[in-house]
Structure 1
Amino acid sequence: MKKLSILSIIALLLTIGTYAQKTGDVLMTINNKPVYAKEFKRVYTKNLDLVQDETQKSVEGYLDLFIEYKLKVAEAYAQKLNENEAYVYDFGKYEEQLSRNYIYDTKLTDDLIKEAYNRGLEEIEASHILVMCNWDAFAQDTLVAYNKVKALRDRALKGEDFNVLAKKNSEEPGANEREGKLGYFSAFNMVYPFETEAYKTPVGGISNIVRTQFGYHIIKVTDRRLKFPPITVSHIMISTSKDTTTKAKERINEIYGLLKQGESFEELAKKYSDDKATGINGGTMKPFTKGQLKAPPFEEAAYALKNTGEISNPVQTRFGWHIIRLEKINEIPSFEESQVDLEMRIKDSERLKIVTSAVNDKIKKKYGFEGYDYLPFFEKFVSDSILKRNWKFTSLRKEDNKPLFKIGSQTYFYNELAEYLFERQTKVRPYQQKRSLIQSLYDEFETEKVKTYFKRKLEEENDEYAGIIQEYRDGLLIFEVMAENVWNKAKNDTLRLQQFYNNSKENYKSNQQLNGAIFSSSQKEILTQVNELLASGKNPEEIKKQLNTTDKIQVLVTEGFFDLDNNQLPPNFELKEGISKIYETGSSFSLVKVNFVAPPRVRELDEVKGRVISDFQNTIEKEWVQSLKTKYTVEVNQKTLKKLKKELGS
């Protein structure tokens, strides 16, 4: 089934990309369109390690893969998939992200990273009072709000109880109950201007008035503390659902009892944890800090552990029941270790506006920018109905369509801004003033077009960027063309899928399985008792009740069907019906009661549908690629190929 991300698909398809080179030796033509040797050389050297088939690691072997890739790209363009709305959106989003790496003001970004790191070392506890004020309010309304918050600040400075003032006067929803209290926060938890003012204010102090998109604030800082260090824990999880909550709690308590009796945490996690990603490693999780997991009960229980090896009581979260063991209290990451993550967070936060503004100015300076006075015309041309988001745009007269601004060799005109105003009016936040709305949308339009010009020039001027962006462009097209011609057909053509399954049933046999019960204990003599009880006719549930108590779990029992590679079965398990011998594995012992052995059988289509669809997709793809080889004429320049083979040594 198609479960791979776009980036995974690109990787599987060898992430073959192209530079926009215009010159060089022609390696081949596809319907007379040249493909250059330089392009092949770049992707060959880059992707050779990804090739699994040794026969395809030679230049000629890899050339076959390269040709198939180029044929798929050619077909994507032939089907005009590059015009699909989803493709245009996804590519534009990636292009925006990639170009940031070439656009940003490095020094300014570095300063913001250092600031965020230093702030993130501590947490601030604060309360605030908010007087709401629309961010584009009329001057008289702004003045009223400002004077109100100033008066409240003066009262707080004179000694009035800040939280009482907040309860009675703050316009933040819920302020009456919370009395303005925000709890502890750190970098990136609050809007940037608010965060900045809070960090500038000493403990016990009242901040200056700060303006945000919500209105005017004053802040009282009541505490500053070092941020909690990241910790590493291991856990055993038993997942829950509506019909298994009771059984999950019972099982986690059984496991907890075994831990108290000295059984290995790692072995129990490997055998019984439903978090398979961590269970395979004995339950160990990646380091995290408080608030990162979005699972407060788990985090509180984890941070309550003080000593390495200490184990929590069973704790319930929305995922299930957990037992947590503290492995390590880690050091706070250094600046160097945090730098990449902080840079990404800055680029996804409102701090980006600071960088964007600086970058916009930098691009204007590099390519030359000339702007013209547009506002008087548009204040008359655009009616007040734009504030209600229903302004009707009529074409400008030819004599009114004047230059709006010029960046490099590109000039934009009034009609382009008018169309932008019309399209964007329904997508912006509410405005009170027409002038503010027009200015804001003009700023958006200018920034967008300046960046577009820069990206166009960047692809022309920077080979590295051109190569990466073309690689992603073609990778997305490959994804689209494969979905259209392979994946969707395999899923939707149920008749052919059934025929494919009928013709290859032998490929979908089940493994041999056993039906029975697995008994585990840290004491060999307990399993000796289990053996005797089984021989006397007791069933697993009766044995569990006889040997276990609320205070002491002596044996853990799992019943059902088991593949022979199930990790609960002891190593070197000898499969036969009846009661097995007692196996020793590390510090634990196992015994298996085999009721019967289920032989391999052909699974029904519904049981293996995902696998059948995947195999069917491979068949469809082979047929489709063969049709492309018939549709397109590929001619390889043998002289250039020979030269490449000599140069690349294969």
Structure 2
Amino acid sequence: MKNIVIAFYLLCSSSLLFGQNKEVLFTIDNHPFYTDEFIRVYNKNLDLVKDDSQKDLDKYLDLFLGYKLKVEKANKVGLQNTDSYKNELGSYRNQLAKNYMNDSNVTNALIQEAYDRTIEEVRASHILILVDENAAPADTLKAYRKISDIRKRILAGENFDAVATKYSEDPSAKENKGDLGYFSAFKMVYPFENAAYTTAVGDVSMPFRTRFGYHILQVTDKRANRGEVEVAHIMILKPTDGNVEKENTAKETINDIYAKINQGESFDGLAEQFSEDKSTAKRGGRLQPFSSGQLTSQEFENVAFGLKENGAISKPFQSKFGWHIVMLINKFPVKTLEELKPEIESKIKRDDRSRLITTSLSNKLRAKYKVTTNAKLMTAIVKSVNNDFYDQKWQVPAADAFASTLTTINNDEKINGTEFLDYLSGQQKRNIATKPVSKLVDELYENWVDDRLIAYYNNNLENEFPEFRYVMEEYRDGLLLFDLMEKEIWEKAKVDSVGLEAFHQKHINDYMWKARYDVDMFSSTDAKIANKAKSYLKKGKSIDYIKEKLNKDGKVNIIVKSGLFEAGDDALPEFNANTVGVTEVIKKGDYNFVGNIKEIKPAGPKEMSECKGKLISDYQQYLESTWVDALKKEFTIHINREVFETVKGQLVH
């Protein structure tokens, strides 16, 4: 819901200005709102609306004014000072800023590399020798020599799987012998991915390091990516309580359905009747297309991709969710680079690859912004650091002299020496081995300057990019509005029991039950079978008895579905029954239905507990519809009609 509220402004963001000087369009309690924002918002919305009445400038002004009234109310009650608001706004800014914190040339090269790897899957086995990222040089060397010796043994003829089982420090190696299966881009850490894609099939890589330690890998196969597959499925859920009898019933049901498919019955019809995946049953069990690794069930993926011909149907199989039958609808090749580019770019920003982009950005910022260093103070700082740094025992000196300016960025950002000293102190835990200590300090100073340049650039994005400033201003207003509506409308509607009851009574005709039927519904493609079921029902026979009599020789002729169904429900055919008892046999589509109606609950008003979700939603809409009128009375509003007429003339022409 928050996204919907905030979207009003984010969709309205645009850098389209008319070039005129901005003027005050209206004031709310003497707070001015200007023409440039109104024009920018209106022009963006002009491309989005379909109804010409929504383009009416007078109506749009009223909508815009109503929005600003709500934001003013939010500020008036102090919502802009809450920690939750500040944290969310900061989080959004960080996300938005990521779009500006990269080098497009480096990014595009990484996108191309990732796509080239996406269209190919690699299968590899690996051996890992653990070593911490910040391990001492002696421990790092020891791990490197160990992995190098292991590689030599394999090159000399020892079996990779056997060596992995015996020596790999990856706990899973004892079971999988180091085999990681097939993977493509972004499935492994970047250094591992690089080694896998640059090693030929059958070869063993050189030792390489990741944050886990040193590895070698052997590539056992490479294949084209399987792309995406579209399937339909019928699912019977696995009982969550571990009841064996229920599990057997579920398994029996999926086997009965499979038998009916083999008897020529419609997959779509059976899915609609019996699949317990409610999100897909109505459309014949059809799932959205998916690729390898996208689902949480490997069993389901393997079965789906294993089907060869469109229309092919799997045997029943079990996943951790329940029992399935899958029908192949279509297979799709890997998408083009243009289609995958946004997704790949998003993944790059969350991957180790992003460090390459950051380095490139730092180099550009050094060219963009002037950086000056206080050489005298820098010399003093270098002298203050000694070899205790390597043992993580060095202490920041307390001298006041270090508090003067060490670094200036762009002639306006001044950073004192104590900040760099604190940074140095924190770097001790990295166990950096650079010697002598003067060289180490110089190296860390350059890293620190890069960090400060990026921070300076980030903090000035609003000045660098007007469109960034617009979006942030609009998100700020939208976030305030969401918090206000949650407080004044949504939460109020939930806790205002008196108002909710009054609203329910006033609109009781909007909350009515249709007639409801408690029914056992039998279905069969064979009319004779349905009539036999009717005959048994007339004699008072049980469901189990009828199934036993009519489902013989491994053939499922009848299936039953029981429940309480409202008149008009898709699960309830048009029996036109007004009394309890056994119905006539009704044909609908390919199926013949007969029902045993055990109870009929007449139409009537719903209790509040029976419609509370919709009732609260309707009450919220009612409160919101009267809210703006109340705000117009609370605040003093002045609209500059002369300025508005000028704006109308510009926008119309």
Partner of 2:106: 108
Kindly provide the CA deviation profile for residues 216-238 of structure 1, in whole angstroms up to 9, marking residues without a partner as x: 22222222222323211111123
Kindly provide the CA deviation profile for residues 175-217 of structure 1, in whole angstroms up to 9, marking residues without a partner as x: 4454433333322122111211221111222212212212222
Distance in structure 1 (CA, Å) of the matches to 2:503 and 2:429: 57
Distance in structure 2 (CA, Å) of the matches to 1:536 and 1:521: 19
Partner of 2:200: 202
- From 180, 183, 201, the equivalent of 1:182 is 180
- From 462, 485, 489, the equivalent of 2:488 is 485
Other structure's SS at 1:552 match = coil
Partner of 1:553: 556
Kindly provide the CA deviation profile for residues 142-169 of structure 1, in whole angstroms up to 9, marking residues without a partner as x: 3333333333333333333333443443
- From 584, 588, 591, the equivalent of 1:585 is 588
Other structure's SS at 2:219 match = strand
C-alpha spacing 1:619/1:287, structure 2 compared with 1 (3 Å): closer
Distance in structure 1 (CA, Å) of the matches to 2:281 and 2:399: 67
C-alpha spacing 1:209/1:620, structure 2 compared with 1 (3 Å): same
- From 41, 44, 47, the equivalent of 1:46 is 44
Kindly provide the CA deviation profile for residues 353-399 of structure 1, in whole angstroms up to 9, marking residues without a partner as x: 1112212222332233345676973895899899999x999987365
Other structure's SS at 2:291 match = coil
Compare 252-261 and 573-582 and name the one that shifted more. Answer: 573-582
- From 252, 271, 274, the equivalent of 2:273 is 271
Contact 2:529 2:557 in 1 (8 A): yes
Compare 409-418 and 103-112 and name the one that shifted more. Answer: 409-418
Partner of 2:526: 523
Contact 1:17 1:470 in 2 (8 A): no
Partner of 2:345: 343
Kindly provide the CA deviation profile for residues 620-644 of structure 1, in whole angstroms up to 9, marking residues without a partner as x: 4455544432332221111233334
Partner of 2:70: 72
Distance in structure 1 (CA, Å) of the matches to 2:352 and 2:38: 41
Distance in structure 1 (CA, Å) of the matches to 2:63 and 2:317: 52
Other structure's SS at 2:513 match = coil
Partner of 1:216: 214
Other structure's SS at 1:91 match = helix
Q: TM-score w.r.t. structure 1 length?
A: 0.86
Contact 2:381 2:421 in 1 (8 A): no
Contact 2:369 2:409 in 1 (8 A): no
Distance in structure 1 (CA, Å) of the matches to 2:490 and 2:373: 50
Gaps of 5+ in 2: none
Alignment partner of 1:465 is 2:463: no
Other structure's SS at 1:411 match = strand
Partner of 1:153: 151
Compare 197-206 and 134-143 and name the one that shifted more. Answer: 134-143
Other structure's SS at 1:281 match = coil
Report the AA paired with residue 350 of structure 1.
D
C-alpha spacing 1:573/1:628, structure 2 compared with 1 (3 Å): same
Other structure's SS at 1:326 match = strand
Report the AA paired with residue 3 of structure 2.
L
Distance in structure 2 (CA, Å) of the matches to 1:382 and 1:576: 95
Distance in structure 1 (CA, Å) of the matches to 2:611 and 2:379: 65
C-alpha spacing 1:387/1:626, structure 2 compared with 1 (3 Å): farther
Structure 1 vs Structure 2 CA RMSD: 3.8
Report the AA paired with residue 641 of structure 2.
Q
Q: Matches of residues 308-319 of structure 1 in structure 2 within 5 Å?
A: 308-319=310-321
Gaps of 5+ in 1: none
Q: Matches of residues 388-427 of structure 1 in structure 2 within 5 Å?
A: 397=400, 400-407=403-410, 409-416=412-419
Report the AA paired with residue 641 of structure 1.
F
Compare 578-587 and 329-338 and name the one that shifted more. Answer: 578-587
Contact 1:124 1:185 in 2 (8 A): yes
Other structure's SS at 1:216 match = strand
Contact 1:379 1:434 in 2 (8 A): no
Distance in structure 2 (CA, Å) of the matches to 1:392 and 1:508: 72
Distance in structure 1 (CA, Å) of the matches to 2:509 and 2:523: 36
Distance in structure 2 (CA, Å) of the matches to 1:355 and 1:303: 36
- From 358, 363, 366, the equivalent of 2:365 is 363
Report the AA paired with residue 319 of structure 1.
F
* Residue 256 of structure 1, CA deviation: 1.9
Partner of 1:89: 87
C-alpha spacing 1:554/1:630, structure 2 compared with 1 (3 Å): same
Alignment partner of 1:639 is 2:642: yes
Other structure's SS at 2:361 match = helix
Distance in structure 1 (CA, Å) of the matches to 2:334 and 2:414: 51
* Residue 37 of structure 1, CA deviation: 2.4
Report the AA paired with residue 204 of structure 1.
G
Q: What percentage of aligned pairs have identical amino acids?
A: 37
Partner of 2:134: 136
Contact 1:14 1:47 in 2 (8 A): no
Kindly provide the CA deviation profile for residues 234-272 of structure 1, in whole angstroms up to 9, marking residues without a partner as x: 111233332554443333233222212111111222233
- From 1, 5, 26, the equivalent of 1:9 is 5
Contact 1:384 1:434 in 2 (8 A): no
Compare 203-212 and 460-469 and name the one that shifted more. Answer: 460-469
Kindly provide the CA deviation profile for residues 584-633 of structure 1, in whole angstroms up to 9, marking residues without a partner as x: 33322333444443222332333222223223333444555444323322
Alignment partner of 1:609 is 2:612: yes
Contact 2:151 2:216 in 1 (8 A): yes
Distance in structure 2 (CA, Å) of the matches to 1:396 and 1:619: 66
Partner of 1:509: 512
C-alpha spacing 1:340/1:349, structure 2 compared with 1 (3 Å): same
Partner of 1:377: 381
Distance in structure 2 (CA, Å) of the matches to 1:401 and 1:87: 36
Kindly provide the CA deviation profile for residues 554-592 of structure 1, in whole angstroms up to 9, marking residues without a partner as x: 12222221122322233x653533544443333223334
Distance in structure 2 (CA, Å) of the matches to 1:600 and 1:386: 82
Report the AA paired with residue 335 of structure 1.
L
Report the AA paired with residue 469 of structure 1.
M
C-alpha spacing 1:561/1:445, structure 2 compared with 1 (3 Å): farther
Report the AA paired with residue 363 of structure 1.
L
